[in-house]
Amino acid sequence: MTILLTAANGRTGRAVLTALAAKGARVKVFIRNEGQWPDLESLGAIDYAVGNMQEKQTVDEAVKGCDGIVHIGPPMHPDELEITGRFISAALHHRVERFIYYSVMHPLLRDIRHHRLKLDAEQHLVESGLAYSIVQPSRYMQHLENIWKQILETGVHAMPFSVEQRFSVVDLVDLAEATALVATQPGHLYACYELAGPQDLSQQDMAGIIGRQLQRQVRAEAMSLQQMEQGARARGAGDDRVEQMIAMNAHYDKHGFRGNPNVLCWLLGRPPAKFEDYVGRLVASGKQ
């Protein structure tokens, strides 16, 4: 069985590729340029297709000959529904046996555009007639890596929302393994799985855990949305991406982002990683 993996060169795609290869899957990766292939081959991919998710012809060529698709959309893309629709159409045309859609936890949060678009894409998939599975991941523990250097330098864990709101953060390694299991094992068709971590943690809780792992004091701080915007623009984010980040973090500031870990426990056949497990790995890696 050959599985096409989209967005394979991103953080999520690489994790899912590694997990699929560990399950013995034959993975064909969909990438933007040929220069990305050697690294992905080293992670276990057996073939590749170069293309653009917004071009029907390259999507169709990539899907040809594949038995399954694991579709990961580009983050916060305004054309999420259209992009997913192209892969659904190609899957129907080429009689793909299984379509796994990597969505988001609580897509019903329609005031956040990328949640709303993923909900619309889920509906399109469910109504398409394809045999499907949908996974809905919570916020990644790995988002910590974006501010890790700052924490080491300043002792401050700063995120653009309240330090008291709670999040069911989840280890991307666990999400990738669960996605690979859904893609390769029988029994998961027509399922929609919420994948949340095992703890509801505030930013204060996380700062305390980080401090214990580093054996130094770390405090939580609520970064303003203006500070977040400045940082995002400095990293090259455009107007649309910044607007969506503001909407998402404003929602998190008011409501947090909490889910239930039972489905992830069941899929993995073990307890998912706790935040302290992940931070311990990060500290041990020596990442700066």
DSSP string, 101-170: EE--S-TT-TTSHHHHHHHHHHHHHHTT---EEEEEE--BGGGGGGSHHHHHHHSEEEESS-SS-EE--B
pLDDT < 50: residue spans in the chain: none
Q: Looking at residue 231, what is its pLDDT?
A: 87
Q: Looking at residue 288, what is its pLDDT?
A: 74
Antiparallel, parallel or unpaired: β 132-137 and 156-159: unpaired
The packing angle between helices 172-184 and 11-22, to 10°, is: 50
Contacts of 247 (CB under 8 A, 6+ apart): 111, 112, 113
- Whole-number Cα distances in Å, 36 to 29, 47, 48, 263: 10, 12, 10, 33
Structure tokens at 151: 């924490």
Q: Where do we find the tokens 């940082």?
A: 231
Q: Are 68 and 1 in contact (CB under 8 A)?
A: yes
**What is the C-alpha to C-alpha distance for residues 131 and 30, in angstroms, rounded to an integer?**
21
Taking alpha carbons only, the member of 106, 220, 208 closest to residue 164 is 220
**What is the C-alpha to C-alpha distance for residues 25 and 74, in angstroms, rounded to an integer?**
23
Q: Looking at residue 22, what is its pLDDT?
A: 98
* Per-residue pLDDT tens digits for 130-159: 999 999 999 999 999 999 999 999 999 999
Q: Looking at residue 1, what is its pLDDT?
A: 86
Q: Looking at residue 198, what is its pLDDT?
A: 98
Strand-pair partners of 27? 3
**What is the C-alpha to C-alpha distance for residues 30 and 7, in angstroms, rounded to an integer?**
6
Taking alpha carbons only, the member of 137, 86, 129 closest to residue 107 is 137
Q: Looking at residue 287, what is its pLDDT?
A: 85
Which contiguous run of DSSP H or E holds residue 201?
strand 201-202
Which contiguous run of DSSP H or E holds residue 277?
helix 275-285
Q: Looking at residue 205, what is its pLDDT?
A: 98
Q: Where do we find the tokens 């894409």?
A: 121
**What is the C-alpha to C-alpha distance for residues 109 and 184, in angstroms, rounded to an integer?**
30
Provide the whole-model pTM. Answer: 0.96
Q: Looking at residue 128, what is its pLDDT?
A: 98
